């Protein structure tokens, strides 16, 4: 019988997350209960929110030490006790950091095998839906406007920048380091990039976007949010997608001083969203994203690491800003 390898969330991070927060364990192969399937993991993804799950309750219940680390992924069905799903099917679901998982069949989604697995986990998955609905429904950019995106080299950011260009906007991305700035403008298609680690973020945004910012897609909070508010135009919109700047820490920093002052004087709308709330409209987004990918207007950007044993260090690397696009581990 095969063995199930699992990464256990073993110890609560005290400050920044490290590989030492996880233990590798071997467990017996799971078996399918009634209505369940057993899935062999083939590709697992990482989310910026992973760190928040360990810290407290978010949009999902808190993770506790001893639990298998949570995460979505994709796998092949090896056993099924559910109607309509058979061994050999490819499914997506909350597999967690393990090589096998037993899951209720109605909590997994059967996938089109003709599409590359990394696309299911990036542009056609939660990441793509987040970029699509967050930018278009919450940010509501109009042609000719300027869109700023933080964590622009991240999974969501690389898509937001491209969708904003498709909408006829000028795009500015923030990231860390000159190499990633160059990559954003040369490879991803951003009009300009700002290295937030250089400081004077508001001044550097102004230098590349003297016309001001109309829509800010905020993946980070923190200093970039503060700078963005200072540079926003009248009637600007801030789509709050996440707060990476505060995820990997035990002591969240204070909010931007521009709240609520700039919101009033510049009539700014700032709105948080969680992609699940848009799931009833996911077909619309998937259809549009597929069309853009097929036409070559939207290029999926994925960063694939090989080896289940590399899960913890890969997550740590994501918080250190090492990935470019959606970070995935192939198993």
Binding positions for a copy of itself, 255-274, rule CB under 8 A: 255-274
Read off the tokens for 265.
């004087």
Q: How far is the CB of 138 from a copy of itself (least distance, A)?
A: 9
253 forms part of the interface with a copy of itself (CB under 8 A): yes
Q: How far is the CB of 272 from a copy of itself (least distance, A)?
A: 3
Nearer to a copy of itself, 3 or 59 (CB): 59
Read off the tokens for 259.
């709240």
241 forms part of the interface with a copy of itself (CB under 8 A): yes
Read off the tokens for 322.
């090492």
| Residue 177 dihedral angles phi and psi, to the nearest 5° | 90, 150
Q: How far apart are CA 165 and CA 33, in angstroms?
A: 48
Q: How far is the CB of 241 from a copy of itself (least distance, A)?
A: 7
Around 167, how many Cα atoms within 13 Å sit in the side-chain half-sphere? 26
230 forms part of the interface with a copy of itself (CB under 8 A): no
Q: Angle 155-166/126-133 helices, nearest 10 degrees? A: 40
Using alpha carbons, select from 90, 58, 51, 93 the residue that is nearest to residue 72: 93
Residue 239 neighbours by CB under 8 Å, 6+ apart? 134, 135, 138, 139, 215, 216, 217, 218, 271, 273
Q: How far apart are CA 201 and CA 27, in angstroms?
A: 48
246 forms part of the interface with a copy of itself (CB under 8 A): yes
DSSP state of 184: I
From residue 196 to residue 225, the character string flagging contacts with a copy of itself as x (rule: CB under 8 A) and all else as - is ----------------------x--x---x
Instruction: By CB under 8 A, name the one of 242, 300, 312, 325 that touches a copy of itself.
Output: 242
- Give me the residues paired with residue 305 across strands: 329
Q: How far is the CB of 256 from a copy of itself (least distance, A)?
A: 5
Nearer to a copy of itself, 179 or 234 (CB): 234
Q: How far is the CB of 212 from a copy of itself (least distance, A)?
A: 15
Q: How far is the CB of 175 from a copy of itself (least distance, A)?
A: 18
19 forms part of the interface with a copy of itself (CB under 8 A): no
Nearer to a copy of itself, 103 or 148 (CB): 148
Give, for 4, the enclosing helix (H) or strand (E): strand 3-9
Question: Cβ(298)–Cβ(162) under 8 Å?
Answer: yes
- Give me the residues paired with residue 1 across strands: none
Instruction: By CB under 8 A, name the one of 94, 182, 277, 309 that touches a copy of itself.
Output: 277
Nearer to a copy of itself, 43 or 244 (CB): 244
Nearer to a copy of itself, 100 or 262 (CB): 262
Instruction: By CB under 8 A, name the one of 34, 143, 254, 296 that touches a copy of itself.
Output: 254
Q: How far apart are CA 208 and CA 161, in angstroms?
A: 15
Q: How far is the CB of 110 from a copy of itself (least distance, A)?
A: 29
308 forms part of the interface with a copy of itself (CB under 8 A): no
Residue the block writes with tokens 């997506």: 92
Q: Which residues bind a copy of itself (CB under 8 A)?
A: 58-59, 218, 221, 225-226, 238, 240-243, 246, 252-274, 277
């Amino acid at each position: 019988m095969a063995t199930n390898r699992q990464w256990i969330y073993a110890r609560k991070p005290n400050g920044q997350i490290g590989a030492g927060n996880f233990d590798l364990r071997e467990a017996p192969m799971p078996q399918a209960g009634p209505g369940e399937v057993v899935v062999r993991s083939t590709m697992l993804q990482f989310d910026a929110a992973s760190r928040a799950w360990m810290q407290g309750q978010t949009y999902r219940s808190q993770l506790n030490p001893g639990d298998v680390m949570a995460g979505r992924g994709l796998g092949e069905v090896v056993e099924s006790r559910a109607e309509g799903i058979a061994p050999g099917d490819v499914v997506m679901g909350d597999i967690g950091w393990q090589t096998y998982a037993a899951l209720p069949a109605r909590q997994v989604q059967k996938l089109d095998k003709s599409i590359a697995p990394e696309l299911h986990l990036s542009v056609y998955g939660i990441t793509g839906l987040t970029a699509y609905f967050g930018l278009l429904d919450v940010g509501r950019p109009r042609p000719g406007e300027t869109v700023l995106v933080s964590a622009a080299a991240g999974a969501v950011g690389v898509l937001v920048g491209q969708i904003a260009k498709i909408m006829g906007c000028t795009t500015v991305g923030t990231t860390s380091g000159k190499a990633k700035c160059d990559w954003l403008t040369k490879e991803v298609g951003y009009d300009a990039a700002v290295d937030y680690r250089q400081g004077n973020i508001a001044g550097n945004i102004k230098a590349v976007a003297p016309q001001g910012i109309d829509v800010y897609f905020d993946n980070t909070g923190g200093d970039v949010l503060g700078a963005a508010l200072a540079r926003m135009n009248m009637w600007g919109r801030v789509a709050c997608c996440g707060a990476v700047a505060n995820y990997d820490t035990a002591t969240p920093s204070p909010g931007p001083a521009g709240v609520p002052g700039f919101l009033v004087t510049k009539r700014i709308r700032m709105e948080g969203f969680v992609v699940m709330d848009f799931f009833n409209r996911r077909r619309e987004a998937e259809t549009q994203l597929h069309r853009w990918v097929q036409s070559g207007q939207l290029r999926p950007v994925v960063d694939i690491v090989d080896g289940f044993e590399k899960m913890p260090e890969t997550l740590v690397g994501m918080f250190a800003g090492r990935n470019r696009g959606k970070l995935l581990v192939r198993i």
